[in-house]
Amino acid sequence: MDTHINSKKHIKIKMKDVLSIVSFLLVFLLIWQIVFSLQIWPVVSLPSPAMVGQSFVDLVQENILIESIIISLSRLFIGLVISVVIGGCVGLVMVRFKQFGKTMSSFALGFQSFPSIAWVPFAILLIGFNDLGILFVIVMNSVFSVMNSTYGAIRNIPPIYLHAARNMGASGFLLLRQAWSFAWHALIGAEMLITTGVGLGYILSVGREFSNMSEIIATMIVIFGIGLLFDRFVFSKLDEKVRERWGLTQS
């Protein structure tokens, strides 16, 4: 009985969230259309929602958008895996050797605040205009975040709590969420400047070169949508599962 009630309550909450999102989008589109109709900016600078929608359809029909999403996400996944493996291992070494950890954490913090776009010229001259150059930028922008997160999360925790956390199924998804954010930002910037002929960032670059604002906005919406989907349906679900396992969910 309680399960049925909780299920209905959960559905109501989900429907409320969906309605809120839909309402926000409708208001946003209405304001956008009004601003377009007032012709404050020329059409080349601010197209209408319908024009952006048509660009989105064109990108899909030409198979450019789907291919770019697949390529960009594959680059992101590979770069993220490399960052987590290297950053996690180095972070554990930093915990084991205290002096090394203190020194490395300072360097890692400095590199963590380093703008991702600043790695691009270095990657181009070192590696070239190819996928490896893009992966290099992704890894360099996210590995130090993983490193410092691992180091900071473990170094001051008593061993008994670490053991309890492992038994209760605690995971490093928070670390992964942060690394994903850094990697996603780096990926788009790298694809815009390290032109390989495919990728979401490359579409933005082409749109800029041809002053195609409709295509740029359509791609930006896709990038935003992918980030939102990962946050809502991957990381939020992992968060809920961990909370349920720890008994932290609200009744």
Give the tens place of pLDDT for each residue, 87-112: 989 988 988 888 888 888 888 888 88
Report how far apart, in Å, the C-alpha atoms of 64 and of each of 134, 200, 230 are: 19, 9, 21
Q: Which DSSP letter does residue 117 get?
A: G
Place of tokens 């007032």: 38
Separation between Cα atoms, residue 29 and residue 97, nearest integer Å:
55
Q: Which two tokens stand for residue 235?
A: 């990381």
Asked whether the predicted pLDDT for residue 240 surpasses 80, the reply is: no
Q: What is the pLDDT of residue 242?
A: 61
Angle at 52 between CA 224 and CA 134, to 5 degrees: 45
Between 232 and 133, whose confidence is greater?
133
Scanning the chain, the segments in alpha helix (DSSP H) are 2-37, 49-61, 64-96, 98-112, 119-126, 131-154, 159-167, 173-193, 200-209, 213-230, 236-246
Alpha-carbon gap, residue 50 to 33, rounded angstroms: 9
What pLDDT is stored for residue 22 in this prediction?
A: 85
Reference 218, options 77, 62, 37; nearest CA is: 62
- Separation of alpha carbons 61 and 187, rounded Å: 24
Kindly tell me if the per-residue pLDDT of 157 is higher than 80. no
How far is 109 from 114, CA to CA, in rounded Å?
A: 9
- Integer Rg of the chain from CA: 22
Q: What is the pTM of this model?
A: 0.81
Residue-averaged pLDDT of the chain: 83
Question: What mean pLDDT do residues 164-170 have?
Answer: 44
Q: Which residue has the higher pLDDT, 237 or 120?
A: 120
Res 220: pLDDT = 95
Q: Is the pLDDT of residue 49 over 90?
A: yes
Provide mean pLDDT across the span 112-126.
Answer: 90
